[in-house]
């Protein structure tokens, strides 16, 4: 697929370039609490601006219901992007209306403008092809003749949406540096990874990860299970799990996985339990086989961290997606911190699969350069590892 280097070598000075970025950052009011995705978008936007392109950025934030919602405005993101670029970044007050046209028409060579949240328009996520295509047509008209499209929002390439998929069929399209690097890393994991190959999966629900677990088990040497979904596996073994999170409808599926791949699946041997879900809850470490009634598991215990670390320390390839516990509460952060530190200390080619795992790396103060790659797209990464086609990548590979 054509990439950013191909576009830059063709020359972009004075040319409008529409960039689909992933700027879906967590907010506390209008304060960004983790700007990792903004920083990840910088290289592509900077290269285009420095080459003299008129850069028009489209992105989403949160899950608005197809209409403007002030709390999901991209205003904080545009401000932060401007700070990181060291220049003013214009924010259009709409997506394809008069404000957007004024912002785009006002761009000088090397200038950057951000269009308001693309999901304020219901056509962005519509299942109706014609509706999405209509929005894509308006975006293409906004940037005008001679424009190009750069797909750099890896976190959305698994979605068939107007600003991801349909626009790529209308404009000459290129993979941005971020999307290109993400795909290359994932191809390494799905190709012929160096062994031993260990995967760590956490998060709350087995149902969210079941397909990727089933896809990965034949390919990995060890698959380590943490987070809330570990308790469904423990329940499948017949252990009492107190009031821990459990998906009753997934117990049979997990029991079948344990029966077929028990030699590869590694579950916690001890857990940190609490009497309630709160940062200041009473807590203690117990055996995974002996969770008291009324108590809930909120983290893996120290023996589990040790066993996980031993496996990760001997691995040559590691993929990690999902925290081992409720790392947002300090009392239940040791498991996630221990798993992450073991990966940092290993010699493995290591990939952090975006989402909460990437947030944990930053919030726990771990060195980002201690990992080979930190993905910006948890859902996209998992779907790729499942073997699914990613529409936003497939359309680029089709070429336009």
Q: Which pLDDT tens digit goes with each residue over 99-110?
A: 999 999 999 999
- Residue 259's contacts (CB-CB under 8 Å, 6 or more residues apart) are none
Q: Which pLDDT score, from 0 to 100, does residue 102 have? A: 97
317-328 mean pLDDT: 94
Pairing of strands 222-225, 265-266: parallel
387-396 mean pLDDT: 93
What confidence tier does 356 reach under pLDDT thresholds 50, 70, 90? confident
| 205-222: pLDDT as tens digits | 888 889 999 999 999 999
287-298 mean pLDDT: 96
| 43-85: pLDDT as tens digits | 999 999 999 999 999 999 999 999 999 999 999 999 999 999 9
Residue 4, pLDDT > 90, answer yes
Residue 378, pLDDT > 90, answer no
3-class DSSP string for the chain: CCEHHHHHHHCCCCCEEEEECCCCCCEECCEECCCHHHHHHHHHHHHHHHCCCEEEEECCCCCCCCCCCHHHCCHHHHHHHHHHHCCCCEECCCCCCHHHHHHHHCCCCCCEEECCCHHHCHHHHCCCHHHHHHHHHHHHHHHCCCCEEEECCHHHCCCCCCCCCHHHHCCCEEECHHHHHHHHHHHHHHCCCCCCEEEEECCCCHHHHHHHHHHHCCCCCEEEECCCCHHHHHHHCCCCCCCCCCCHHHHHHHHHHHHHHCCCEECCCEEEEECCCCCCCCEEEEECCCCCCCCEEEEECHHHHHHHHHHHHCCCEEEEECCCCCCCCHHHCHHHHHHHHHHHHCCCEEEECCHHHHHHHHHCCCCHHHCCEECCCHHHHHHHHHCCCCHHHHHHHHCC
Q: Which pLDDT score, from 0 to 100, does residue 314 have? A: 97
17-42 mean pLDDT: 93
What confidence tier does 357 reach under pLDDT thresholds 50, 70, 90? confident
- Residues annotated as catalytic are 37, 205, 355, 379
330-337 mean pLDDT: 96
Comparing 279 with 360, which gets the higher pLDDT? 279
What confidence tier does 182 reach under pLDDT thresholds 50, 70, 90? very high
259-281 mean pLDDT: 97
| 224-246: pLDDT as tens digits | 999 999 999 999 999 999 999 99
205-228 burial, b at 16+ Cβ within 10 Å, e below that, comes to: ebebbbebbebbeeebbbbbbbbb
335 close to 307: Cβ distance less than 8 angstroms: no
Mean pLDDT highest for which of 27-31, 177-181, 300-304, 352-356?
300-304
What confidence tier does 253 reach under pLDDT thresholds 50, 70, 90? very high
Q: Which pLDDT score, from 0 to 100, does residue 203 have? A: 86
In the chain, % of residues over pLDDT 70: 100
Q: Which pLDDT score, from 0 to 100, does residue 64 have? A: 95
Q: Which pLDDT score, from 0 to 100, does residue 243 have? A: 96
| 89-140: pLDDT as tens digits | 999 999 999 999 999 999 999 999 999 999 999 999 999 999 999 999 999 9
Q: Which pLDDT score, from 0 to 100, does residue 224 have? A: 98
9-22 mean pLDDT: 96
Q: Can you say which residues are annotated as belonging to the binding site for substrate? A: 22-24, 37, 60-63, 119, 159
Q: Can you say which residues are annotated as belonging to the binding site for (2R)-3-phosphoglycerate? A: 37, 119, 159
Task: Give the integer Cα–Cα distance in Å for 286 and 307.
Answer: 16
Residue 400, pLDDT > 80, answer no
Residue 204, pLDDT > 90, answer no
């Amino acid at each position: 697929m054509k990439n950013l280097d191909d576009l830059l070598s063709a020359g972009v000075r004075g040319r409008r370039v529409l960039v689909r970025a992933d700027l879906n950052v967590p907010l506390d009011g209008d304060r960004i609490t983790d700007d990792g995705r903004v920083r990840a978008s910088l290289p592509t936007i900077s290269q285009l601006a420095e080459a003299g392109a008129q850069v028009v950025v489209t992105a989403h934030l949160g899950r608005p219901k197809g209409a403007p919602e002030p709390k999901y405005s991209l205003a904080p993101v545009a401000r932060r992007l401007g700070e990181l670029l060291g220049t003013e970044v214009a924010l259009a007050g709409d997506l394809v209306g008069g404000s957007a046209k004024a912002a785009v028409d006002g761009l000088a060579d090397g200038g950057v403008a951000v269009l308001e949240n693309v999901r304020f328009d219901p056509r962005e996520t519509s299942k109706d092809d014609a509706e999405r295509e209509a929005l894509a047509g308006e975006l293409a008209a906004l940037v005008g003749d001679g424009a190009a499209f750069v797909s750099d929002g890896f976190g959305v390439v698994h979605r068939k949406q107007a600003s991801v998929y349909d626009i790529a069929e209308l404009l000459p399209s290129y993979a941005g540096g971020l999307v290109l690097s993400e795909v290359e890393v994932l191809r390494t994991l799905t190709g012929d990874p160096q062994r031993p190959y260990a995967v760590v999966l956490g998060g709350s629900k087995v149902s969210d990860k079941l397909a990727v677990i089933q896809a990965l088990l034949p390919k990995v040497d060890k698959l380590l299970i943490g987070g809330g979904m570990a308790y469904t596996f423990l329940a499948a073994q017949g252990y009492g799990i107190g009031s821990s999170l459990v998906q009753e409808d997934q117990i049979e599926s997990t029991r079948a996985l344990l029966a077929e791949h028990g030699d590869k699946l590694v579950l916690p041997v001890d857990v940190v339990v609490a009497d309630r879900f709160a940062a200041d809850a009473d807590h203690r470490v117990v055996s995974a086989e002996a969770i008291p009634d009324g108590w809930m598991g909120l983290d893996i215990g120290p023996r589990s961290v040790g066993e996980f670390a031993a496996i990760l320390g001997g691995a040559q390839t590691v993929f990690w997606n999902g925290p081992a516990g409720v790392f947002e509460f300090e009392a239940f952060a040791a498991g996630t911190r221990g798993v992450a530190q073991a990966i940092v200390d290993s010699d493995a080619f290591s990939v952090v699969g975006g989402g909460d795992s990437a947030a944990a790396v930053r919030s726990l103060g771990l060195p980002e350069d201690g990992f080979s790659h930190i993905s910006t797209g948890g859902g996209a990464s998992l779907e790729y590892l499942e073997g699914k086609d990613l529409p936003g990548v497939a359309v680029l590979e089709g070429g336009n």
